[in-house]
Structure 1
Amino acid sequence: MPDQAALAATGAAAAIVFGAGAFAWLAGRWAGPMIAGLWQRRTGGQSEGMIPRACALVRYLILWPVLASALRFYPWPPLASFLLGFFAALAAALVIRNIVRGLNLSRWIAWTLALFLFVAILADALGGLDNVTRPLDALAFTIGSRRLSLLAILQISIALLALYAAVKLINQLIGQSLKHADALDPTQRLLTQKLLAIATVAIAFFIGIDLAGIDLTALAFFSGGVGLAIGFGLQKTFGNLIAGIILLMDRSIKPGDVISVGESFGQVNKIGVRAVSIVTRDGKEYLIPNELLMTQEVVNWSYSTRDVRISIPITIDYACDVRLAQRLMIEAADASPRVLETPKPNVWMKAFGENGIDHEIRVWILDPEAGIGPVRSDILNRLWELFKENGIKVPAPQRAVRIEGWPIDPAGGSSGPAPAPAT
């Protein structure tokens, strides 16, 4: 049975837990929406996983250090230490879980890191980690000259998971910071983000090797046949990576450009490590490898300017008033809302065709990403109404057939139609 002093200390610990929890709850309710709004404005809604977790993160980030400080600065009896340690460990685990889930990482990663932190903090509160680490370290086996224990495996696994989460968090913070770098244009921001992401992954790779205790000389096999095979296997991947960086450096293709590659036509949505994402007008998204954009012919409709000229063929009947028809074509083009006033719409007479006089309406638009088909359709619809009002006819295909004579019947008579009776 605990003595009176232990009971009093446990009561005080419970009061600290309750008071800190109430304060953290009020602080989260007050500061959480403000932080969520600030995060929303800073990120533009790109990190939606963090926004609904803002209130919870504020609560647990306050509760964790308060309880940890209370645990450290006073020699609590075992029951009080367990009470403070349990809730401090729980708050810390929930902080890690919410951050990892806010980064859109897998649930198992979040729960693994949270469980490890919970056990570590609680064990430390109950007298140190030796009671946990000693049995785990005893379960070991030897590989070559290296001793590998269950404790070492757990430490390496947790360190790598934490490193992976840290890399993703750093990349997100870099991306959000570059969005507010007004001195850089969108292409320079994307290029800087890609280069910093590659540098972050490279640094994390070497940190992971160091945490795992791997001797860098063990990587010498990459210079041999295995490394050569891996190099050939990753040739396309590295080729696409370098091609993407080159595309961003020379600015030949940028996010937001309207391009056509072969049969694919659409707006560049994203330039990734491996491929460029192109969104078409019908909502389809094509992933085109970066190397293809370096080796194939690409039509960039908005490379130097976003102005695009559209040609609309139209044919009128030979019997129509040509000048009137041309004025109506200009009128229909001017009335279309997406057609630019400068350069002005123009009409060219192209040829005297088989069925009528061929013309071509030429107009300029500023927003090719919105599609050129709707502009053609709008002008043709307006022109159809104007033609009907003014008696301008669009000819139908015609064919003239000339009969030189009818075939002769073998019986001696003509197989053609009988002559008309004489009158």
Structure 2
Amino acid sequence: MDIDLKDVLEFLQMAARSVGAEVTSPWFYLQVGMVLAGAGLAFAISAAIRARIDLTTLGMGWPTALRRFMRVLVDSAPTAVFALLMALTRIIMVMSTWPSRSYLLSVAANLALAWLAIGLVTSGIRNAFMVRVISLSAWLVAALSILGQLDPTIEALDSVSVVLGGLRLTPLLLIKLGLLLMVALWLTNIVSNFLENRITRSSDLTPSVQVLLIKMIRVGLMIFAVTVAMSAVGINLSALAIFSGAAGVGIGFGLQKIVANFISGIILLADKSVKPGDLVTIGDSQGRISAMKTRYISVAAGDGREFLIPNEDLVTQKVTNWTYTDKNTLVKIAFGTNYDADPRLVCKLAAGVAAAAPRAIKGKPPNCILTEFAEAGMKFSLTFWIADPDGMDNVKSDVMLALWDAFKHEGIRVPYPVRELRVRGALPVETVVEASS
């Protein structure tokens, strides 16, 4: 660790002497009073201005960026009025006394102007977090520059360092790297979202290829942003060789599942075994794939639930894809009748009921066969095709209800188990009572 304590102590002593000289002067308290009075007057004037302006109708028909700029300008009215009042007060003080006796007024006016300019410049940014970060960072740099403490602060932050394997880390370097990374990743997100919209609108690409391209673009842009940010602050990427070795060990032990899911996601997108919109059954979970992420896929069950299934499970486990090559689905219904019914008439009725179903495919006629002479009655199997597996249970229910109505009309009964209990050699009631007493 490289720390120059002497320079830091000298900087703190100079700052303390400067602040002490200002605080002990009566002009300091006069300027503080003027600043407070100006702030109160600015808020009162800005409140009157905003009361006369209707923000909902301001700039109707203007471009979105210009309307946002005007809204920010109206919201920044207190800062603008305060800066104007401080500048006028500063001019009056300079004309009536020594300029040094109005130094605080000049600082207040410059800080207000800096905050106003930063707010107007960042008005085109929609990300609220980035607006706060950029505004506070820019205003802090502007404040240090106005106070004449920017260079000493930079030197103080750069004087403390830690050397790790040839890489010199300082607070200044980390601050620069953090700010650049946030800006770079924010810009990367904007570019990736723009490209994602263009890719999803392309009708020439299948859904799986679209997701694969979007993932590759996002990962590539993120790596590029991190590399550019680190190179911009002067970090030699070769100095991170020791960290890459440690990261490799961590991936080998602690990140096995994450890497496995990431690679499995790429495999799924490349072989097109599943894609967004497919109806799948994975274990006890069934639904349509609504999204494919880097680590998991989202399966919407249709009842408000969504199953988040790791990509690795789709590669290693049995998956039923109802719409892999063809959406046509065969529906099977098993039912039974008693032996009093004519099996040929039963098959004819069942086939007619299935053919009349609204969702049944007309080009593929239904089929009904007798499968078993069981103890309780005859068992049949009815099969027919529908064009889409969505709502297959509803289709089966409708066909079974229609089949029940047809059986009732023809007098065909559906068997059900009947049990008779016969007790042989039962004792008379009186004997049973006597025994129990």
Question: Is 2:366 the partner of 1:345?
Answer: yes
CA distance in 1, matches of 2:405, 2:383: 19
Question: Is 2:127 the partner of 1:100?
Answer: yes
TM-score, normalised with respect to structure 1: 0.71
Question: Is 2:142 the partner of 1:142?
Answer: no
CA distance in 2, matches of 1:25, 1:131: 43
Q: 1:395 — aligned with what?
A: 415
Question: Is 2:300 the partner of 1:279?
Answer: yes
CA distance in 1, matches of 2:308, 2:426: 65
Q: Does the CA contact (< 8 Å) of 2:162 and 2:170 recur in 1?
A: no
Give the CA deviation at 1:402: 9.7
**SS of aligned partner of 1:360:** strand
Question: Is 2:141 the partner of 1:114?
Answer: no
Q: Does the CA contact (< 8 Å) of 1:355 and 1:398 recur in 2?
A: no
Q: 1:29 — aligned with what?
A: 60
Amino acid in structure 2 at the alignment position of 1:92: V
Give the CA deviation at 1:135: 2.4
Q: 2:257 — aligned with what?
A: 236
Q: Deviations over 1:37-66 (max 9, x none)?
A: xxxxxxxxxxxxxxxx994268669x99xx
**389, 402, 417: which one aligns with 1:382:** 402
Q: Does the CA contact (< 8 Å) of 1:332 and 1:383 recur in 2?
A: yes
Give the CA deviation at 1:206: 1.4
Cα 1:196–1:240 change in 2 (3 A) is same
TM-score, normalised with respect to structure 2: 0.69
Amino acid in structure 2 at the alignment position of 1:249: A
Matches of residues 189-228 of structure 1 in structure 2 within 5 Å? 189-222=210-243, 224=245, 227-228=248-249
Amino acid in structure 2 at the alignment position of 1:253: V
Amino acid in structure 1 at the alignment position of 2:155: D
Q: Deviations over 1:231-272 (max 9, x none)?
A: 332222122111111111111111111111122211111111
Question: Is 2:208 the partner of 1:187?
Answer: yes
**SS of aligned partner of 1:302:** coil
Cα 1:147–1:138 change in 2 (3 A) is farther
Q: Which runs of 5+ in 1 are unaligned?
A: 1-17, 36-52, 65-76, 102-106, 407-414, 419-423
**SS of aligned partner of 1:29:** coil
CA distance in 2, matches of 1:152, 1:26: 46
Matches of residues 17-416 of structure 1 in structure 2 within 5 Å? 29-32=60-63, 55-56=67-68, 85-96=114-125, 99-101=126-128, 107=129, 109-120=130-141, 131-139=149-157, 140-144=159-163, 150-222=171-243, 224=245, 227-368=248-389, 370-398=390-418, 415=425
CA distance in 1, matches of 2:421, 2:404: 30
CA distance in 1, matches of 2:407, 2:427: 42
Q: CA RMSD in A?
A: 4.2
Q: Deviations over 1:382-411 (max 9, x none)?
A: 1112222221211112468899xx6xxxxx
**SS of aligned partner of 2:60:** helix
Please say which of residues 212-221 and 386-395 is displaced more in the overlay. 212-221
CA distance in 2, matches of 1:364, 1:95: 56
CA distance in 2, matches of 1:31, 1:324: 74
Amino acid in structure 2 at the alignment position of 1:391: G
CA distance in 2, matches of 1:160, 1:389: 75
**SS of aligned partner of 1:204:** helix
Q: 1:12 — aligned with what?
A: none
Q: Deviations over 1:113-136 (max 9, x none)?
A: 23223455x569xx8796535424
CA distance in 2, matches of 1:240, 1:83: 51
**SS of aligned partner of 2:395:** helix
Please say which of residues 82-91 and 336-345 is displaced more in the overlay. 82-91
Give the CA deviation at 1:146: 6.8
Cα 1:147–1:261 change in 2 (3 A) is closer
CA distance in 2, matches of 1:329, 1:149: 81
The alignment covers a number of residue pairs equal to 354
Give the CA deviation at 1:141: 0.7
Q: Which structure has the larger Rg?
A: 2
Q: Deviations over 1:175-228 (max 9, x none)?
A: 111112222122211111111112112212212322343322222225646632
Cα 1:329–1:118 change in 2 (3 A) is farther
Cα 1:236–1:328 change in 2 (3 A) is same
Amino acid in structure 2 at the alignment position of 1:338: R
**SS of aligned partner of 2:160:** strand
CA distance in 1, matches of 2:235, 2:335: 73
Amino acid in structure 2 at the alignment position of 1:100: N
Q: Does the CA contact (< 8 Å) of 1:278 and 1:287 recur in 2?
A: yes
Give the CA deviation at 1:309: 0.5
Cα 1:291–1:170 change in 2 (3 A) is same
Give the CA deviation at 1:352: 1.5
Cα 1:171–1:133 change in 2 (3 A) is farther
Amino acid in structure 1 at the alignment position of 2:116: F
Q: Which runs of 5+ in 2 are unaligned?
A: 1-48, 77-90, 92-105, 429-437
**SS of aligned partner of 1:30:** coil
Q: Deviations over 1:42-98 (max 9, x none)?
A: xxxxxxxxxxx994268669x99xxxxxxxxxxxx98997776543211123333xx
Amino acid in structure 1 at the alignment position of 2:331: I
CA distance in 2, matches of 1:190, 1:137: 48
